[in-house]
Each structure stands twice: as C-alpha cells, then as structure tokens.
Structure 1
Amino acid sequence: MPNPIKRTVFFISDGTGLTAEALGHSLLTQFEEVEFKQVRIPFLDSLEKAQEAIARINAQGEEDGMRPIVFTTLVNQELGELVHQADAFCLSYFDTFLAPLEAELGRKSSHTVGRSHGTAESSEYKKRIEAINYTLAHDDGITDRDLAEADVILVAVSRCGKTPTSLYLAMQFGLKAANFPLIPEDFDRGRLPGTLEKHRAKLFGLTIQPERLHQIREERRAGSKYASLPNCRYEIAEAEKMMRREGIRWLDSSTKSIEEISATILQELNLR
C-alpha cells in the first residue's frame, strides 16, 4: 500500500471554529488515502489576527512543501478576503452558500457574527443544559431515580460507547440520555435490571465486536479477566442474546462514529 499523502488543513472562524471543523470533516473523511494534520484558528476578528493567520498558513506551506487547505466560516467579508490571500487552497462556506441563498430569498443576509449562537437565553439552550446535567447524573447506572424523565436509556456491556453517545445526544439535541451497563449478574438472572423493565420503550442497546472490545479493555486493564478475549466474547454474546429476547433495538458500534450511532438512535426511537 502506498504511503498516504499528507496535507495540513486549517479551520478558521470568527467564532469557535467548531462549525468550520465539522463541515470540513464531512468532506475530508471522503479521502481515505490522505492523512490530514488539522489546525483550528478560532476568534479571528481583526486585521491583525488575519495577518497572523496568513503568516502561519504560509509558514506551514513552506514546511510541508505543499500549500495548506483552508476552510473558513468568516462572516466579515474584509477578513475573509484577506485570509484568501494566503498561499493556500481556501474554501469559504459563506461565499459558497450565502450568496446563492441571498439570490433565492431575494434578501441580503445580515452578515452578523455569532448569529448561530445567539440563543444563549432561549428555552432551547436551557433545555440542553438540563439534559447535560441529567445525563451526567445518570451515567453508567449511577442512579435509577427519575428514569421516567429520560428520552432514551442506553444499555450495553462496559466500554461499548454508552457514555460518549449519551453526552452527544444531550449536548447536540437536548435529550436526556441515561445509560446502564449490562453485567454478568444480569446474564446469570437472565433478565434486565428490574428498574429498566417499565421503561422498555425507551431502551436502546449497543454492542461491539469482541476483538474490538478486547483491544479497548486492554488499554484500561491490561491482562485482566475483564479484558480477556474469551470474557469479551462471553459478555457480548450474552448481551446480544438478552437484547434479542427482550425485543430491544440495538446496533453494532464497532466501526460507527458517535454521530452515526446517535442518528440511528434518533431514527429508531423517533426522537426529535
């Protein structure tokens, strides 16, 4: 297999840069044979910062021997044009999408920085904070109180991705997501923990390939029975058997991102 091509990618924004990074990632993941070094430059809101960014981009290009790729979500047109003077391949999401939208809507955009984050005092923002607090308080079966308030309850053996998925659902969608581990005692009893029985409609299961689970657990407790491949095979087999018997919808998280897992959960449970 040939050595991968290596390119440096900059994500530049007058805000946090998370939007530019998320949009850029959705494109970069389509190029499996290219290895990307990623750099985020947030809060670029002055000519001085723009000039510093240009110098940094140009210096990186000289070091790499190849011009960097730049994704920007700069609303300020003057700053955007300045950054585009860098010796780089620049892609601006606002240039690409805003002008066509203005033409379609027959209206000029406000070109206001931070409009997408102007809901800090809205009920939607407060709902998201409440969901995060709820999810943290109901992580890994810490408590079974207030499960009636949960939008979804994830179940899986340890290290299948319950916690990061729960937090993503809370942070991105404002959903109250509890999660419970399936443990050997549950398999011995042959049934779900009693507190989950009456919330069956909210349950969603995660599983994983035993070999992948073995790798993950070895990083946590190397050489332990908990991490051994035979034990991982046993727990996965028993968990999947239980979920089939109990009629719980589930998916294999082995090769899926948190975003993909969450999208499936939203669709399967018809959550908004």
Structure 2
Amino acid sequence: MKETEVASKTPQNESFNCDQCNSCFKTKVLYERHKLYQEKLTEHFSCQLCGRTFRENFRLMRHMISHSTEKPFACPICKKQFKRKYEVTKHDRTVHQGKKYSIHKNYKCTLCPKAFTHTAALKDHQYVHSGQKSHVCDICSASFTSKSGLAGHIKVLHEGFKRPQESCQCELCGKNFETRQGYASHMKITHGDARPTCHICGKKVCSKEFLVVHMNMHTGEKPFSCDYCEKAFAAKKYLKIHVRNHTGESPFKCSFCPKVFKQRSALTGHCKSRHPGLKPS
C-alpha cells in the first residue's frame, strides 16, 4: 500500500465534541482533560449535620468547624478563644490594635443605597424591590426572594436543623443551667450586685460572658457572622433575629389573629395597637 493511501485514511480534521456543554476539541488529550474537569464540577460533598453541599472537600472541612464547640485558638493578650486561627488575627487587629477591616462592596443597587461584594448577592437583593419570589420550596410551595432564604427555610422547617445549645454554669456559685435564660435569671436574682460592671459606661450585666458581648458595643467588634450573607453582629441575639430574615421563621404568634412576627417586640406592639385591652394567653 502506498504512503499516500495511508495518509488519506488518517483523519485530518477530526474533532472531539463534549455532549454536556457542546465544546469542541482538536485532540483527544484536551477532550479527556475537559471531561475530568466537568466531572469535578458535578461532584458534591455534603455535610451530614445540616445538608449543605460543597464542590470542594476542603470547603466542607472548613464548614464543619461551624458545628464544633471546640475553640483551640486563643488570643495571647486577653485569652479569648476562637474556632479559627484567622479570627484571632482579626480580633487582635480590631480590639487590641484599634484597626478596622475595609470591605469592598463594588456591586451597588440602583434602587437603594445598599451595596454587595458579589453579583449573586446583588441579584438576590433586587428581588426585594420587585417583590418577586422566584425561589419556591418543593415541599410546601413557600416562596422566597433569595436562594439563601429558601435554603434556610428547608434546613430549619423541613430538616429540623437546630444548633446545639450549650449549657451554662454560674462562675460565682458553680450552679449549672440548661438554658441561657435560666442562667441570666439566676445571676440577676441570686447574685444581684455581684454582676460584672463595664468599666467604660458603668452598666451592670448578668455574667462575664455578657460583659464580653457588651464590650463589643464599645470596641466595634462584630464576632457573630451570618452563615447566609456577609453581615456580622456584636451580639448573638442580634444575629439570631437577623437570620430569621433568611429562614422566614416567625416564632411569635398572635393569640387573637393569624399574624406572626419575627420579634417579640413586634408582637407586643401589634397587640397594643390591634387588640387593646386583651391579654395574650
């Protein structure tokens, strides 16, 4: 057989097409490399505790720290403990050095003064102005303006996810309490004037832990970060109220009408204005 005949049987313009994204490659090596990349994109790593999924395993490992109660990293100055090493550095800069981190929010809403760090957050925010709730729950058909709100709704209401509640011990008498409310009540009633006092404004708080939270108001530190957006808060109770905007949770129900509220103060105001003279059951 002649060399010209062999050459004619060798494909000169052969191409390899991806059946998933219609990309075209000149060589099989490039095609196989592309297929491996596509498989990696579709692979997910799921958290066994809350159901969140991640594309990279290291992101799952980093997320698992949020479920742990261990705080192995301590500030060398005030001994305050943290879950992550970078939190110690951030704490030192903001509290002990008086510096503040600047967050660049380049994606601005054209309808209000709010700005965001990435386009996805801006796009979700704009549904607030349009009133469109395009993220619908497949289980109960509840709709939400953002993907994070839908995810939080499913996690809390349908998957029954609850953060583990830490027990509290009185540092003055050693008595243990199952809830922080019982601990706070004990500190107020039993120990009275033994409560820690803020050296800046003179306010008395029910425990050393709450004094640390109170000091955040003076220093500007916001150690409690939202899992759904970039917002952070000086106290855990403010974070808890904020998260309800993502999850859609409204735990305070009116005894006289079907209305529900995210905050107790909103329920109290509603009862005073709409149901005056009636006492809730």
- Tell me which of the two structures has the higher relative contact order, counting C-alpha pairs closer than 8 angstroms and 6 or more residues apart: 1
**1 or 2, which has the higher helix percentage?**
1
Q: With structure 1 as the length reference, what TM-score do the two structures score?
A: 0.20
Q: Which one has the largest radius of gyration?
A: 2
**1 or 2, which has the higher strand percentage?**
1
Q: With structure 2 as the length reference, what TM-score do the two structures score?
A: 0.20
